Every structure is written in C-alpha cells, then in structure tokens.
Structure 1
Amino acid sequence: MDYNLMREFADSWGLLAMALFFVGCIAFALRPGGKAHADHAAQIPLQDD
C-alpha cells in the first residue's frame, strides 16, 4: 500500500471508527445499572479473603 492511500484512509475512516468507539465506550459506561457494577468493581481490591 502507498503511504498516501493509508493516510487518506486513516484521516477519514480511521477517525470515524475511533469516534464511534469513543461514543460506544461512553454509552457503555453510562448504561442503566452501570453504577452498581462500577461500585462492585471498585470494592474488589479492598476485600479481604
């Protein structure tokens, strides 16, 4: 592949893919019931076995 072709791809579709991934991560973190899972995960290192 040519450098310019790869750069064009990264400038257009790569940016779109990264933006969609970012929005998906934010939506996943803010989903209903997510706070309970986050609170549980935050307490795991503090638990004594």
Structure 2
Amino acid sequence: METYTALRQFADSWALLAMVIFFIGVIIFTFRPGGKKSADHAAHIPLRED
C-alpha cells in the first residue's frame, strides 16, 4: 500500500506538472513564427513525384 501512495503523490504533483509543460511546449512549437512554411513543406512531401 505504501508504493501506491507514493506513486499517487508523484502523479498528482510532478507528473501533472510535466504533462502541462509538455502541452504548453507543443502549443508554442505549433504556433511559432515560421512554422507555417515548414508545415506546408511537410504536407506536400507525399504528393511529390521524384
């Protein structure tokens, strides 16, 4: 039962904080300046004929 309590406390504090930071990082990465050009380039890769 002691292991469950320790893991529960970890999940409630540090793991939640890590997930929030990761989520904010993904949002910032997605909407960064210059991101549209690289996203458009990546979107057209499957349609290219070499």
* Range into which the TM-score falls when normalised by the shorter chain: over 0.9
What pairs with 1:1-49 in structure 2 (closer than 5 Å)?
2-49=3-50
Q: How many residues align?
A: 49
Structure 2 distance, partners of 1:41, 1:4, is 45
Extract structure 1 runs of 4+ deviating beyond 6 A.
none
**Aligned-residue CA RMSD in angstroms?**
1.1
Deviation (angstroms), 1:3: 1.2
- In the superposition, the TM-score normalised over structure 1's length comes to 0.93
Structure 2: gaps of 5 or more residues: none
